[in-house]
Each structure stands twice: as structure tokens, then as C-alpha cells.
Amino acid sequence: MKSPLQVILAGMNVDAQALDEAKTRLEYGNDFGALNTLSKLTPETISASYARISRDERPIPELRNIARKEVEDARKINKNVIFTMGHKSIAEHAFFNIDIMGLSRRAVEELERKRLQSYTEKSQRYITLKGDFVIPPEIISTPLEKEFVELIEKQNKFYKNNLNTLIAWHIKQNPEMASNPKKKDTLEGYGKEDARYALAMATQAQIARSKRTPKFSTRKVNRCWKCGRAHGYLRKYNMCRICFRELAERGEIPGITRSSW
């Protein structure tokens, strides 16, 4: 079974996909098309597309593509979300970004655990989930795979059967909000928020991740460039003690020789 996980480079300040399109058009001699694409390059399209992730179930690359075609609309979205609604966090995405799709809720929790970077993810409060889930590779093609899939499908069925019931309950409990068309979406969000607790951590998600300087220096974690290990880190060599020893024994670190006594 093919893994649904996708990790895509979104861009550094400007959209990487747009740069690829411009490059392709130049190679085919379409200078005007390339210039037209480059003229629309702005960090605003990335932040605007990421502002839609929580409420839009479409894949992130598709949202970025729409924002690139509608630059003025993207600017309006940024203005509305950042200044009117006060969600300044999306402005942090006008930096180095990657799109991560097809990962589980459990993987999302692990990614966001230390809050070292900026994240925007598909919200299970605003979007009605369709039952997509991730099967751990360790159990694929084993007897446990069938049991796992059956359990997830039962949970998804429970979610769908009770979603409308929970929404109706919130509408009944809040008649004043229910009478206001602008507040009705909020009540539906309450129902979705409650229903999602029936879903497994294997439920499929998508997230936009941006590399930025941590707000506090104590949040920065040095990791080995070779294996990613955080413990036993040697600042001078930018690696952990285990990788340092392995490379030193093979003579791959200049100036380091093995001592003997």
C-alpha cells in the first residue's frame, strides 16, 4: 500500500511552484508567460493560502495555486485575517515553508510538540471529515491490518452518525445564536468539535510548516546534522557524540586522530 504522506517545498518568501512554472516557460521560449508569472510573485500569496487551510479541505498546493492567480484577493484575505480578525500568526508563513499532507493526527501532535516553528493545520472543527486515515507501515500486510481498518471504520461511522445529532443539540441549547444566520456556522463548529473526539489519531491531516527564528532562545534545540539526535550534541562539529565517533574512527573528520595509550 502506497503511503499518502507528501512533503512539498512551498517556497522561501515566494512560491516555489511559480518559480518552476516560470523556468519551464523560459525553456520553451515563452518569455512573456514567464514574466507574467514572475510579476505575481509575492509572499502574500503563501500567507493567504495558508490562512484558508483550517477551513478548506482542498490540498495545500491547490490553495497556493488559487492564491497566485488571484493576488489582489490574496491581499484582501491577508488584510482581513491579520488586521480585522487579529490572527497575526499567518504572517509568519511569509518565510521558508513546506506543505505536509497525508500524515496522521498523531504525527501532527509530534510535529507541533515543541512549538519551534509556525504551523497552520486543517481544522477538524470547521471541516466535515471524510474518513481518510493513515495505516501504520508496521502492520501493513499483517493480520493486524484488517482489525485496525475495521476499528477505524467503526469510529468513522460513529462520527458521521452522531455529527448531525450534536449540531442539532447545540442549536437547541443556544436558540439566540441559532436565530442569527452569522452565528449558525459557529454552532455547527461546536458540533464538529465534539464529534471529532470519536475519531482515531490515525485520521489523516494536512499542515503547513514554516521555519522561523524561535521567539525565545531557550526554545532552540540543537540537533545532529547527520542523524537528528538532540542529546550529546557537540557544538564545534554540529553533530552528536555517536556520529562524531563513527566519522572520527573512519578518519572522515579533518584534524581528528584516534588516541591510544
Task: Please check the confidence at residue 261 and state whether its pLDDT lies above 60.
Answer: no
| Structural domain of 47 | 1-124+206-220
Q: Which of 40-49, 125-134, 164-173 has the lowest mean pLDDT?
A: 125-134
Helices within the chain (DSSP H only): 16-27, 31-39, 43-51, 60-69, 71-78, 105-112, 143-173, 175-178, 181-195, 241-249
Q: What's the one-letter identity of residue 213?
A: T
Main-chain phi, psi angles of 129, to 5 degrees? -75, 150
Is residue 229 within 8 Å of residue 158, measured between CB atoms? no
Task: Please check the confidence at residue 130 and state whether its pLDDT lies above 80.
Answer: no
What's the CA dihedral at 239, 242, 243, 247 to 10 degrees?
Answer: 120
Do 254 and 157 share a structural domain? Answer: no
Model pLDDT for residues 189-247, shown as the tens digit of each residue: 888 888 888 888 888 888 888 877 666 677 678 888 888 888 999 999 999 999 999 99
pTM for this entry: 0.70
Do 53 and 18 share a structural domain? Answer: yes
* Residues forming beta bridges with residue 100, ordered by sequence position: 7, 207
Do 114 and 28 share a structural domain? Answer: yes
Do 212 and 132 share a structural domain? Answer: no
Do 171 and 90 share a structural domain? Answer: no
Do 117 and 76 share a structural domain? Answer: yes
Do 116 and 211 share a structural domain? Answer: yes
Task: Give the cell for residue 170.
Answer: 447545540
Do 167 and 226 share a structural domain? Answer: no
Do 233 and 176 share a structural domain? Answer: no
Q: What is the CATH number of the domain that holds 243?
A: 4.10.830.10
Is residue 240 within 8 Å of residue 144, measured between CB atoms? no
Q: Considering its fold, how many domains does the chain have in total?
A: 3
Model pLDDT for residues 149-203, shown as the tens digit of each residue: 999 999 989 988 998 999 999 999 998 888 888 888 888 888 888 888 888 888 8
Q: What's the one-letter identity of residue 26?
A: L
Do 99 and 135 share a structural domain? Answer: no
